[in-house]
Amino acid sequence: MKITKTFTLSAMLLAAVMPQAGAASLPDFVGGISAGTIAAISDGEFFGSTYGTGQLTPRSAGFRDVLTVLSIGDGQVAVSEVPVSNSVTAAPEILQLTPDGRMAFVAERLGERPESGETIRDLPPGRGLFAVDLSDKSAPRVAATVEIEAFPEALSISPDGMRIAVVSNTPEASFVQIVPYRDGSFGKVMRFDLADLGIAGTAPRPRGGVTATNVHWHPSGRFLAVNINSQNRIAFFEVTEADGAVMLAPWANVVETGRDPMVGRFTPDGRFYITSDWGRDLQAPTLEGRIPQTPSGISVIRLADTAADGETARHERVATATTDWSAEGLAISRDGRLVATVNMRDTAFPPGTPRFQREATVTLLTFDPETGAIEKMGDYPFEGVLPEGGTFDLTGDHFLATVFHGHEGAGAETGPGLEVFRVVKGERPSLERLGRIPLPHGVHHVDVAR
């Protein structure tokens, strides 16, 4: 019965799929977005309903795992694509562009399905970290691939662009990995077991209950933050190098946050770390029990004085804010004064069920880079299923949120793509919806660069 429902949904969604790259007309507002490059990653094997049914998209739908690249120059927009394996089951932090927009890095939490694969259980563990060369935006290509620990959840590029940090959760351990990238190729993967760094658990679950869902480089390149969402805390590490060997060591104290801090980011000045605390019940046996029915939150952590020694350095959670239901993606504007979360609410539940909702939201908040004070401005609705990732453009004048796919019968205006808002600045900033950039089925993260 579940299979029948999934196939029926897929047929209705086919009309909302973007044609081959470059064939679809794009909204006029795209040329005004402050970015030379917009990159979005799509998972072709899932529907929003797959989390509940376990059924993958039918092969007849023609969906693919793909990286879509929009190149903007002089108000003109060109679109290109390249197949890259990826999975929406990871946090929306498995794609990042280098600041110059010439490279994109992607990690796959689950691999591509085998020939006979029809369910989630048929998908192999993902082990790939991919470097995608965007120097020719009209012909992006996968330039290098390296095998990392299974089930990678998130990645982050070092400020100098020379190293990629990745977190993975295998059945045996949670790992931080640092992978050099130079001259078009990856170097040796350096692996660090979080248990060896003091992040351990005693729960009767895999890895003692430790799950790392986010990693992020400090703007100085000296430190890493790792979200341990299963334990509601953030760990910080100092990165050093001696004789060509990279080493990690704990940096000051581990900090408790709200429930389920799925993702997080350092502020541009490096003084704070902000998390999006989703609030799921990670031990619930059903989707209904796992997804919260209360709003998510945000934690603001003031970082230790980098000049303090190991005994006196302390991080401190200094502020919190409420966002909206099921906030997963988090973004901070380049000037550090605006924060946004992408809130999927209950859009992934089947139509006709008690918890189904057609609209998701973006929450906009203001942030004080001096004090760490954070204040919610409002929630801004839009229609679509399973929105996860989001980003401000380079000037903070626009916000882009991913939409995995549309509801049954959705057209291009409410199908898969990037929901775009204009940021209305002033004493109390707000968002104004502009429309949607149509993209291939399954888009779940986005990044922008020069």
Tens digits of residue pLDDT in 225-252: 999 999 999 999 999 998 889 999 999 9
Work out the average pLDDT over 297-325. 91
Q: How high is the pLDDT of residue 309?
A: 66
Which pair of tokens denotes residue 344?
A: 């999927």
Q: Which CATH architecture has domain 2-449?
A: 7 Propeller (2.130)
What is the CB neighbour count within 10 angstroms for residue 201? 18
pLDDT of the residue at 162? 95
24 pLDDT tier (thresholds 50, 70, 90) = low
Q: What is the pLDDT of residue 5?
A: 24
Average pLDDT across the chain, whole number: 93
| DSSP-derived secondary structure letter, 2 | H
Reported as a single tens digit per residue, the pLDDT across 159-184 is: 999 999 999 999 999 999 999 999 99
pLDDT category at 25 given cuts 50, 70, 90 is confident
63 phi/psi in degrees, rounded to 5: -70, 150
Distance between CA atoms of 401 and 387, rounded to whole angstroms? 7
**Maximal CA-CA distance, the chain:** 62
Q: Percent of the chain scored above 70 by pLDDT?
A: 94
Quote the tokens at residue 215.
């990693």
Phi-psi region of 350 (alpha: psi -120 to 50; beta: other; left: phi over 0): beta
Between residues 313 and 2, the one the model is more confident about: 313
Considering only CA atoms, which of 193, 177, 154 is closest in space to residue 389?
154
Q: What is the pLDDT of residue 15?
A: 34
Distance of CA 450 to the CA centre of its chain: 20
Unique residue bearing structure tokens 């029948």: 4
Instruction: Return d(Cα 313, Cα 306) in angstroms, integer.
Output: 7
- The share of the chain scoring above pLDDT 90, in percent, equals 88
pLDDT at 409: 83
Residue whose pair of structure tokens reads 């020069």 in the numeric block: 450
The mean pLDDT of 186-193, rounded to a whole number, is: 98
Residue where the block lists tokens 């993967």 = 189
Q: Binning pLDDT at 50, 70 and 90, where does residue 364 land? A: very high
* Tens digit of each residue's pLDDT (9 = 90 or more) over 59-102: 999 999 999 999 999 878 999 999 999 999 999 999 999 999 99
- pTM greater than 0.85 (yes/no): yes
